[in-house]
Amino acid sequence: MENLLVKYVSKSLSLSVEEINAIEQEIVIRDFRKGTILLREGEVSTRCYFNLKGLVRQYYLVDGEEKTTAFFAEEQAVNSFESASQRIPSKHYLACVEDCTLVVGDLSTETDFLERFPRLEILVRMMVDQDFGKQQEMLASYIITSPEERYLKLLESPYNLIQRVPQYQLAGYLGITPESLSRIRKRILVK
């Protein structure tokens, strides 16, 4: 069976046989059922994930209510950097919105693995930098754009979140109520 991670990495690097073998033999890829909680508030994150298939949601529990703050779709890294890097309890949850196939990285062995394969290390570093960049722009977009503009941007995104995600989660993610989201959708349909 084709290894999805090898396939993904091969888009950026022409992998050597050693690199392919190492990825296939040492890197864990697991299937998770829809609804699986990958990380709970209060737990210290010891894993990093990379999404090969499916959709993962990040949310906070505020006064008993789930507040959706991020989605991680195909070919996106799923990390709780604050918890993992400082070894402090996570403030949020990570849960599978759909059945998922994820690379499961163990932070304690990741460094050793990457030291043995410098080209993969460079690739991972580049991915972290790019993710960081997206995160910075996303944060800025919450300040400089309106929820309607963010919704329009989601419509253009290749991940098709609007079809994949329940409306109340999408509304939270846009920073608005489900009623406001419904109004925005109507306005856009009219246009």
If we measure between CA atoms, which residue out of 125, 103, 129 comes closest to residue 114?
125
Residue whose CB is less far from its own copies, 122 or 188:
122
Provide the minimum distance between the beta carbon of 132 and its own copies in the complex, in angstroms, as a whole number.
4
**Structural contact between residues 83 and 110, judged by C-beta atoms closer than 8 angstroms:** no
Provide the minimum distance between the beta carbon of 47 and its own copies in the complex, in angstroms, as a whole number.
14
Residue whose CB is less far from its own copies, 1 or 62:
62
Provide the minimum distance between the beta carbon of 114 and its own copies in the complex, in angstroms, as a whole number.
10
SS3 191: coil
Residue whose pair of structure tokens reads 């489900």 in the numeric block = 178
Residue whose CB is less far from its own copies, 30 or 125:
125
Provide the minimum distance between the beta carbon of 127 and its own copies in the complex, in angstroms, as a whole number.
9
Provide the minimum distance between the beta carbon of 135 and its own copies in the complex, in angstroms, as a whole number.
5
* DSSP state at residue 30: E
Residue whose CB is less far from its own copies, 87 or 186:
87
Q: How far apart are CA 77 and CA 47, in angstroms?
A: 11
Residue whose CB is less far from its own copies, 75 or 99:
75
Residue whose CB is less far from its own copies, 99 or 131:
131
Provide the minimum distance between the beta carbon of 30 and its own copies in the complex, in angstroms, as a whole number.
23
**Structural contact between residues 12 and 123, judged by C-beta atoms closer than 8 angstroms:** yes
CA distance to 56, 96, 139, 150, 166, per residue, from 29 (Å): 15, 15, 30, 33, 27
Residue 101: strand pairing partners: 31, 53
Q: How far apart are CA 26 and CA 20, in angstroms?
A: 10
Binding site residues, its own copies, CB under 8 A: 58, 60, 62, 67-70, 79-86, 91-92, 125-126, 128-140, 142-144, 172-173, 175
**Structural contact between residues 38 and 141, judged by C-beta atoms closer than 8 angstroms:** no
